[in-house]
Structure 1
Amino acid sequence: MKWSEHTIGRALAQQTFNRKYLVVVPNCNWTGYEADILAVTENLRLIDVEIKISRADLKADAKKDKWVKRTFQGYEPEERIHDATGRLIRISRRSIYDEQRLEWPRKVWKHYYALPAEIWTDDLLLSLGSEASGVLLLDANRHGSLKIRCRRPAKPCRDADKLSPAAAVHIARLASLRMWNAYQTVDTLRAQQEASHA
């Protein structure tokens, strides 16, 4: 089977998140970074799913900014830069930040990775962004149906705030707009195909 982010995302939306979830939004930046899937639970908590179709992509995720909290600490001493004649051309001061590794992305109650089972090996557990992240593996049968199994459940972030009703409505509005944009894309592609066959 040829795996894609859309194939995996659709299976998750239709099988895993089709019950008990208020809304499921693809490619959503609402939390301040892009989540491949952002799901809102019935008790107004956020679940973030990162979809990966290669081992390299999975390993690269741990380096993303969503796993680091940076706190400004001040500046390094000034660095004076002169040209060849000795004339001062620039003064720079680098910012100093304290970096703290996060167990969960900001605002998220649970975080999962979803990927094809055929690329998974258990040594990849050490490459994940956090030990709190869950792992969902997808298999395709000979008819093309996808089966999802949980390799490791996600640990919930007890400090994750519940969404306000207004925030949940905002995320639902994003999902609705995405649906209508998808319909427009399909109509445009269909019109192009019809024009090329005419």
Structure 2
Amino acid sequence: MTWSEQSIARALATQFFNRKYLCVVPNCNWTGYECDLLAITENLRIIDVEIKISRSDLKADAKKDKWWRREHIGYWPTVTELRHHPRLDKLVEQRVYRRPRYKSTPKDWPSKVWKHYYALPKEIWTPELLDALPNQNSGILLLDQDSTCRAWEGIRVTCLRRATPNRDAKPISPAAAVDIARLASLRMWDAYRRLDAKEAA
């Protein structure tokens, strides 16, 4: 089977989240950072799922801004840029600036997120990949194809590790939930429009 973000997201929405959570896909930026699949629970908490279809993609995730807190700690020494002035035949000051300094510390969860999961094909998973994850709070969902599975498209979702909940993550407001649902609705109608255009071609 050729895996894609869309096929994995559909399987998660219809199986792992049991059709009871509102799911928005693809690439929702509501939390301030991109989520491959954002789910809202019945008590208005956010679940962020990163979908990976390669080991290199999974290993690169730890470098994303969503996993780092940047704190301004001052400035680097002042830098003066000089350039040669042809008419005066000497160096003249062109620019003086100071670059800000930041301290980066790792986050245990992305902003606003109650639970975080990685979802990827079972065939690419190895235990060594645990060391590549940003932290040990993220859950791990593995997907494989099984013709005997009654689930959607014969895809089985297995939870290798449950996500640790972020106790500090506050529920979102009902108005925010409606805003996210509106986004999901608009994307659904846009998908229908693209389908109609494809069928008409």
TM over 0.5: yes
Q: Which structure has the greater CA radius of gyration?
A: 2
The residue aligned with 2:131 is: 126
Q: How many residues in Structure 1 have an aligned counterpart in Structure 2?
A: 191
**Unmatched segments (≥5 aa) in structure 2:** 85-89
Which moved further from structure 2: 58-67 or 122-131? 122-131
C-alpha distance in structure 2 between counterparts of 1:189 and 1:131, whole Å: 43
Shift of 1:19: 3.6
Amino acid at match of 1:88: E
Aligned sequence identity (%): 59
C-alpha distance in structure 2 between counterparts of 1:148 and 1:3, whole Å: 13
Shift of 1:119: 0.2
The residue aligned with 1:66 is: 66
C-alpha distance in structure 1 between counterparts of 2:188 and 2:134, whole Å: 30
The residue aligned with 2:98 is: 93
The residue aligned with 1:18 is: 18
Is 1:188 paired with 2:197? yes
2:13–2:19 CA contact under 8 A, matched in 1: no
Query: Equivalent residue of 1:130, what SS?
Result: coil
C-alpha distance in structure 2 between counterparts of 1:35 and 1:129, whole Å: 16
Shift of 1:137: 0.0
The residue aligned with 1:175 is: 184
The residue aligned with 2:87 is: none
Q: TM-score, normalised by structure 2?
A: 0.92
Q: CA RMSD in A?
A: 1.2
Query: Equivalent residue of 2:63, what SS?
Result: coil
Query: Equivalent residue of 1:3, what SS?
Result: coil
Query: Equivalent residue of 1:91, what SS?
Result: strand
The residue aligned with 2:146 is: 141
C-alpha distance in structure 1 between counterparts of 2:3 and 2:19, whole Å: 24
Shift of 1:121: 0.3
Amino acid at match of 1:97: Y
CA displacement, residues 135-172 of structure 1 (integer Å, 9 cap, x when unaligned): 00001024751000001110000000110111111111
Shift of 1:73: 1.9
**Structure 1 residue ranges (4+ consecutive) displaced by more than 2 angstroms after TM superposition:** none
